[in-house]
């Protein structure tokens, strides 16, 4: 079992990752060769289950690439994916301090949380259960919550004051929908800045899922430290669209000319 320490990495600088929804170990191995610091397995917006996640973490270990798992909701999947060897978690739709406290309770061992000790893959099937196992896990595992609604934004100070939260991740699509404004609008960025300010006030790293033109520059310029950039399905769709465009340019070019 590889002991990734994303919390230590975050203390040294930003974490830039990309997402995987397909559940393909081939995609995991291919992206494992990329320069991204980590891969995000998305259980919320895919059909991935905990058993799928365990196998995909094994595939990522081939390239020594840590995996962060976005669980569908606050619940038993938090402990299950961590027991499978996830280096961190993302929990969506957090809107209250009580929900943030429940995330920490499920993700961290005593004395910070109440996560149960199990002999799963993350504990080398019991062989890794040393006297320092729980403290070491608390030191290593990255715990992030998503704020992606007006309710979450309004409660950001209380949510991010909860001990044990390492980063806050904005869900831009849901936040813009909740605000009833377009992504990238002045009102959208004002909300982002408000959440990021709350994060910094409480020593929490600000971050976001990043999709679409202009979003990357916007989050980087505002100090985003944990950025999950595009993903496997988006890379495939963009690559197909780019090659189709190149084909159309070639077909439209006069005979004997070059479009490259």
Catalytic residues: 45
The dihedral through the CA atoms of 99, 104, 107, 113 has a sign that is negative
HSE, side-chain direction, 13 A CA sphere, residue 191 = 29
Token pair 């230590």 is found at 8
Q: How far apart are CA 89 and CA 67, in angstroms?
A: 9
Q: Please, what sign has the CA dihedral across residues 162, 180, 46, 214?
A: negative
- What gap in Å lies between CA 8 and CA 29, rounded to an integer? 24
| Beta-bridge partner residues of 88 | 68, 142
**Token pair of 21, please?**
């929804």
Q: How large is the angle between the packed helices 186-201 and 172-179, nearest 10 degrees?
A: 120
Long-range contacts of 108-114 (CB under 8 A, 24+ apart): 108/137, 108/138, 108/141, 108/143, 108/164, 109/134, 109/135, 109/137, 109/138, 110/134, 112/138, 112/163, 112/164, 113/138, 113/164
**Interior angle at CA 125, CA 26 and CA 70, nearest 5:** 50
Give dist(CA 3, CA 81) in Å, integer. 15
């Amino acid at each position: 079992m590889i002991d990734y320490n994303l919390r230590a990495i975050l203390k040294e600088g930003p974490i830039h990752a990309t997402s995987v929804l397909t559940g393909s170990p081939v995609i995991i191995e291919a992206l494992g060769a990329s320069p991204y610091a980590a891969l995000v397995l998305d259980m919320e917006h895919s059909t991935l289950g905990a058993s799928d996640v365990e196998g995909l973490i094994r595939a990522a270990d081939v390239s020594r690439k840590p995996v962060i798992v976005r669980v569908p909701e606050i619940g038993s999947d938090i402990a299950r994916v961590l027991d499978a060897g996830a280096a961190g978690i993302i929990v969506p739709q957090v809107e209250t301090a009580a929900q943030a406290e429940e995330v920490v309770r499920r993700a961290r061992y005593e004395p910070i949380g109440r996560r149960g000790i199990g002999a799963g893959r993350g504990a080398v099937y019991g062989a890794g259960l040393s006297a320092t196992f729980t403290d070491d896990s608390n030191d290593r595992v990255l715990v992030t919550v998503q704020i992606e609604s007006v309710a979450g934004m309004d409660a950001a100070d209380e949510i991010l004051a909860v001990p044990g939260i390492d980063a806050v991740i904005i869900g831009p699509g849901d936040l813009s929908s909740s605000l009833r404004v377009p992504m990238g609008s002045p009102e959208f960025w004002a909300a982002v800045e408000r959440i990021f300010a709350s994060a910094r006030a409480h020593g929490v790293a600000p971050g976001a899922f990043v999709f679409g033109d202009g979003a990357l520059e916007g989050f980087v310029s505002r100090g985003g430290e944990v950025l999950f950039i595009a993903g496997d399905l988006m890379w495939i769709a963009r690559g197909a669209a780019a090659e189709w465009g190149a084909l159309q340019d070639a077909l439209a070019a006069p005979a004997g000319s070059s479009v490259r």
